[in-house]
Amino acid sequence: MYNPSKLFFKKVVTMIEINYQKILEEIEEEIQPLYKKGHVANYIPALAKINPRQFAMSIRLLDGTTYNIGNTKTKFSIQSISKVFTFTLALQLYGRSLYKRVGHEPSGDPFNSLVQLEYENGIPRNPFINAGAIVVTDSLLSKYKDKSFDTILNFIRLAANDSTISFDKEVYESEVDHGYMNLALINMMKSYKNINNHISDVISTYFKHCSIEMNTEQLADAILYLANDGINPLTNEIITTETKAKRINSLMLTCGHYDASGDFAYRVGLPGKSGVGGGIVAIVPDKMSLSVYSPNLNKQGNSLIGTRALELFTAKTGFSIF
């Protein structure tokens, strides 16, 4: 028979007894056959040449305890994971009025899709697809002008409590030289009057924040505020409000993996955000943040091994939100 106090007891005991390091070791073992699958993000030449055979995973508990496996010191460009931070900043600045320019519904389309944008008169579905993130970057430019990139970078440094975080110039330049789809998106939105600043300023700031590089340990730290109602528990720094943290997490759950967001929720069951650099971040509310890196991507542009590793993690710990 259902017994709530027994269930509570079981959960507490499970938390104390969980051997995270062992679980990470099992995950590393179990993902090995998947190295043959997927491909790196070849539409950005600087990412196309990255060694695909890499894996790293970090867990950061709210009390600061860290568990690591693999190349957790290897830096990679965080790409679309940066959209979590730019959205956090823009939400802080504009509140609800931001949603006049960018929605909060899943798109069900690829991250760089043009099709829906035309149907919907230049208003992107959400801040985590490229078009939405470009609008968010534009909104930051209106406020911070030529200090926009520095503001974003400093915000990430504050969230992660790490002043060494910087960007990868080669990846940035590679995107500037080859970002044809993003240029198409921003031009279309400009024609619908949903971009207020100069296209070249907005797009270069967008490419630059996508090229910010971090390792899995830094990323787990940077995202920890979303596991703790907006406050980094290690520094007590208020990164956002509790309500906004709730909104950001729900958008990560419904939109964090583009047209594979449903699949990620189904398999992993945690709010998460991926980037084509091969990184994924996820949070277990009130418990921990997680970060995975492995460059080979699935069809929708999400780390193939990263997704599987997080799926194994929630299966082994029972820590999905469902």
Interface ranges with ligand GLN (CB under 6 A): 79-80, 111-112, 130, 175, 182, 210, 275-276, 301
Looking at the Cβ atoms of 62 and 181, the one nearer to ligand GLN is 181
Q: Exposed/middle/buried for 48, CB within 10 Å: 0-12, 13-18, 19+?
A: middle
CB of 133 to ligand GLN, least distance (A): 8
Looking at the Cβ atoms of 103 and 275, the one nearer to ligand GLN is 275
d(CA 167, CA 177): 17
- Length of the chain, in residues: 322
Q: Is 110 helix (H, G, I), strand (E, B) or coil?
A: coil
The crossing angle, in degrees rounded to 10, of helices 130-144 and 148-160 is 110
Looking at the Cβ atoms of 60 and 209, the one nearer to ligand GLN is 209
Looking at the Cβ atoms of 133 and 288, the one nearer to ligand GLN is 133
Q: Exposed/middle/buried for 51, CB within 10 Å: 0-12, 13-18, 19+?
A: exposed
Sign of CA pseudo-dihedral 226, 228, 229, 231: negative
Q: Is 101 helix (H, G, I), strand (E, B) or coil?
A: coil
Looking at the Cβ atoms of 71 and 300, the one nearer to ligand GLN is 300
- Residue 198: CB atoms within 10 A of its CB come to 12
CB of 71 to ligand GLN, least distance (A): 20
CB of 273 to ligand GLN, least distance (A): 9
Looking at the Cβ atoms of 207 and 319, the one nearer to ligand GLN is 207
Looking at the Cβ atoms of 75 and 288, the one nearer to ligand GLN is 75
CB of 228 to ligand GLN, least distance (A): 25
CB of 62 to ligand GLN, least distance (A): 27
CB of 258 to ligand GLN, least distance (A): 7
- Residue 243: CB atoms within 10 A of its CB come to 11
Looking at the Cβ atoms of 80 and 218, the one nearer to ligand GLN is 80
- Structure-token pair, residue 301: 């542009």
CB of 175 to ligand GLN, least distance (A): 6
- DSSP-based helix, strand, coil % in the chain, nearest 5: 55, 10, 35
d(CA 194, CA 264): 30
Quote the Cα angle for 199-179-308, to 5°. Answer: 125
- State the Cα torsion 225-227-228-234 to the nearest 10°: -60
CB of 67 to ligand GLN, least distance (A): 26
